[in-house]
Amino acid sequence: MGKPEDSKSQVAVDDSLAPPPYSEVAQESHPSSAVQKGDTPNVLSDAVLSPYLPFPSILDAHYQWKVSTIFHLGSTINKRLFAVSVHTGFGGKGPGKPGVILHNGPSDKDTLLAAAGDENGNLSSLNTIITLARPSGDISDESCTEIMHAATSFGTVTFRFSAETRQKQGMRREVFEWRKSKGDEDRNLIDPPWKCGFKLVRVTDETPQGSTSEGPEIIAVFAWNSNWSVMNPFKIEFRGSAQAGELGEKFALMVIITGLRLWSLKHQGRTSETTIAAREAELAELYPEFHTRITGR
């Protein structure tokens, strides 16, 4: 089973490109905005989003029978499609800050596709910095950076982000939210021995096709193995328009890296409603009206 120890990855990072203070990042975290150049370490500046294989509609996590900083995402046919490297931020290797990196192949030496970690390496921050490799065919030398923000809402925990999706008219920015399942309310979303941990919903008001009479469209599920399997502990399933590939390769990558971030936060005890609500209360005193500015609620 993999453990978050010092990584063997040789990714170099320029610490001079660290994100700005919380107040500035919080203001940039509104769902309608992407992070601007210089807001986060550009660990993927040379990487290009061109997966060597299409993403399967279901990706299972597969651990190794040894202590390692690497585990894999794969299908039932091939358990080692993509390597995931885990970093604590210590030891002088890896991105220099806690987080996870998704590689374009079964080795941590393969090209980087995406990374997710704490804003400024701050474990108490509610913001996650998401960095994606630039799309193939994009002449820009810049990677894409987004923010995922944790919050409490209507008795549960949410992780909200905005991302570009592929539309007939071209790329379009939409708002999405991972919502933590509570009790048995989402047990019908997935079959045993799996248990729904989070569901990803399409919540943007600008996309009428993103909702139904029963509420926002569910486009992904993050599920835990209720058998407590240490070798196959979780999986990510695409649903609806995401499963059909209608939203594009870049968005599929965003789903995977944010799902991996949920796994990381869960292991750190940072997905509980109590923990996040306490941090929101602290920040509300420091930055009045910050919650409304960030979430729009």
Q: What is the pLDDT of residues 152-183, one digit of tens each?
A: 988 899 999 999 898 888 888 999 999 999 87
Residue 5 covered by a domain: no
Residue 3 covered by a domain: no
Question: For residues 201, 82, 41 and 254, what is the CA-based torsion angle, rounded to 10 degrees?
Answer: -20
Domain count along the chain: 1
Domain of residue 27 covers 15-295
Peptide linkage before 193 cis (omega within 30 of 0): yes
3-state secondary structure of 133: coil
Decide: 228 and 74 in contact? Cβ < 8 Å.
no
Residue 164 covered by a domain: yes
Which residues, other chains included, contact 24 with Cβ-Cβ below 8 Å and sequence gap of 6+? none
Residue 9 covered by a domain: no
Low-confidence ranges of the chain (pLDDT < 50): 1-42, 45, 91-96, 139, 141, 206-208, 210-211, 295
Distance of alpha carbon 163 from alpha carbon 172, whole angstroms = 8
Residue 6 covered by a domain: no
Query: Mean pLDDT across the chain, nearest whole number?
Result: 76
Quick one: 128 exposed, middle or buried, by C-beta within 10 A (0-12, 13-18, 19+)?
buried
> Residue 237 forms beta bridges with which residues?
58, 221
pLDDT of residue 254: 95
Distance of alpha carbon 188 from alpha carbon 223, whole angstroms = 12
pLDDT of residue 88: 66
Query: Which of 124, 190, 203, 123 is closest to 158 using CA atoms?
Result: 203
pLDDT of residue 170: 82
Distance of alpha carbon 99 from alpha carbon 84, whole angstroms = 10
Residue type at 161 in one-letter notation: F
Residue 232 covered by a domain: yes
Residue 141 covered by a domain: yes
pLDDT of residue 239: 95
Report field, pTM of the whole predicted structure over 0.95: no
